[in-house]
Amino acid sequence: MNVIFISPHFPLYFYEFCKRLKERGVNVLGIGDASYDCLSSETINSLTEYYRVNSLEDFNEVSQACEFFSNKYGRIDWIESQNEYWLETEAALRSKFDVNTGTKIENMAHMKYKSLMKEVYKSCGIPVARYDFINDYHSAISFANKVGYPVVVKPDNGVGASNTYKLRNDDELAFFFSTKDNNINYIIEEYIDGHVETFDGITDSNKNVLISSSHVMLHSIMDTVNEESDTAFYSQDLSGMDIEWIGKEVVKAFDTRSRFFHFEFFRLDKDKDGLGKKGDLVGLEVNMRAPGAYIPDMINYAYDVDTYSMWADVLIYDKVFVDINRKCLVGYASRRDGINYTHSLEDIQNEYGSKIVLQVEVPEVLSAAMGNYVFLFKAMSKEEIMDITRFIIRRNGSGNWL
């Protein structure tokens, strides 16, 4: 089997996907824009061969790399990246090289455009925030007056929370129009008073969910990025939860064959006319790749499994070989450089060292959403998760939000 993996070196832990495939005898063929000398030993050892391009943004260069691998190793079976930024590149390459094990570019729009994601959610009977395309200032003002402030503006085709803003009044909307990037197509939507809950997992080729988990965000990623706040969230038990059966409906509605998925929902914190009652779910976004921010590792710790191996087994055998039983809950809390936190790293280790399963510095390019220093920790209850989270992110003086 020949698998092309785009950007195996970044994010730093993505070599794990390649490593599990290579361990199973797969030819793992990496394409990246980093020089070979700059690759980590883990990345090098996880690949059968690496092809450097000057820019992954240059489709012709990447296509030439695929052509090289095809001529040398034979037919390409899979083209993957697990990275939101490269999903359209993957899809275009599948179309060009007739790779049928994933979405092709002609079927990609509903997975990349937030406006079209909403339409799929609605087709499943899941409500979504009202929205409109931003054509001009006057139509945007009209929409804001109709739904009421605050409103959210975001790229229709964007990654994460980049260029996403909550606007509270006409002046902020006017400022947005005077400073926005005119090369980006934006949508404007009503603000939802709720918190984000995710539905994450892996499917087989028939869209059957083989493993799933859910994570509760304690602060929105939009606010985290724009306000440079701490990032914190935790896994929740899916037993008896509506998000599990609703999430599986969404899995069936998208092209989720043989892949990781990451769906985001709002859980309403209060009643919202036209959307639902407090506690109801509202569709937000879909991501056809592994969830970021070390969530695969959180699932590993929660279930005592290896999701990287599970993903590799799906590609090769279309099934997994482990029992799925949750063992614990897992929390994520990160800290930012330059903040005066109450407890030192040594304090955290002394207090909760037996609970911490990972602590790691985050590359600067990813720190806007993830924070600069991340802790993952295990506990048996939500209450304990919250206690540990508060201890990690407590600040001296004002600024505590949890």
DSSP code string of 5-64: EE-TTSSGGGHHHHHHHHHTT-EEEEEESS-GGGS-HHHHHH-SEEEE-S-TT-HHHHHH
Q: Is 372 helix (H, G, I), strand (E, B) or coil?
A: coil
Neighbours of 285 (CB within 10 A): 18
Q: Which helix (H) or strand (E) holds 3?
A: strand 2-6
Dist CA 259 CA 254 (whole Å)? 11
Which amino acid is located at 141 in the chain? Answer: I
Contacts of 309 (CB under 8 A, 6+ apart): 20
Cα–Cα distance, 285 to 282 (Å, whole number): 10
196: Cβ contacts below 8 Å, ≥ 6 apart: 216, 217, 220, 221, 264, 265, 266, 267, 284
In this prediction, residues 46-67 reach a mean pLDDT of 98
pLDDT surpassing 80 at residue 222: no
Q: In whole angstroms, what is the distance from residue 92 CA to residue 98 CA? A: 10
- The CB density around residue 344, as the number of other CB atoms within 10 Å, is 9
CA distances from 292 to 7, 13, 84, 146, 208 (A): 15, 10, 9, 35, 22
Contacts of 109 (CB under 8 A, 6+ apart): 116
Whether the CB-CB separation of 223 and 188 falls below 8 Å is answered with no
Domains of the chain, earliest start first: 2-107 (3.40.50.20), 130-190 (3.30.1490.20), 196-393 (3.30.470.20)
Least confident of 86-90, 114-118, 218-222: 218-222
- Mean pLDDT score across all residues of the chain: 95
d(CA 362, CA 375): 11
> What is the pTM for the complete model shown?
0.94
Amino acid at residue number 67: E
pLDDT, average across residues 129-140 = 94
Task: Centre a 10 Å sphere on the Cβ of residue 67 and count the other Cβ atoms it contains.
Answer: 13
What is the arithmetic mean of pLDDT over 163-182? 94
Instruction: Identify the DSSP state of 128.
Output: B
pLDDT tens-digit map of 230-256: 899 999 999 999 999 999 999 999 999
Enter the tokens of residue 280: 């109801």
SS3 content of the chain, % helix, strand, coil (to 5): 40, 25, 35
In order of 21, 26, 120, 309, 319, the CA distances from 71 in angstroms are: 21, 17, 39, 28, 30
pLDDT digits (tens, 9 = 90+) for 141-167: 999 999 999 999 999 998 766 789 999
The pLDDT of residue 398 is 78
Query: Is-contact 115 128, C-beta < 8 A?
Result: no
CA distance 273 to 376: 37
The 3-state DSSP class for residue 89 equals helix
Give 273-294 as a DSSP string.
Answer: TTTBSTT-EEEEEEESS--STT
pLDDT in tens, 325-374: 999 999 999 999 999 999 999 999 999 999 999 999 999 888 888 899 99
The answer, yes or no, to whether residue 316 has pLDDT greater than 80, is yes
> Among 201, 240, 168, which Cα is nearest to 324's?
201
Would you tell me how many other CB atoms lie within 10 Å of the CB of residue 248?
17
List CB contacts of 348: < 8 A, sequence separation 6 or more: 356, 375, 391, 392
Structure token digits, residue 241: 């939860």
Phi, psi of 296 (to 5 degrees): -55, -40
Mean pLDDT of 45-51: 98
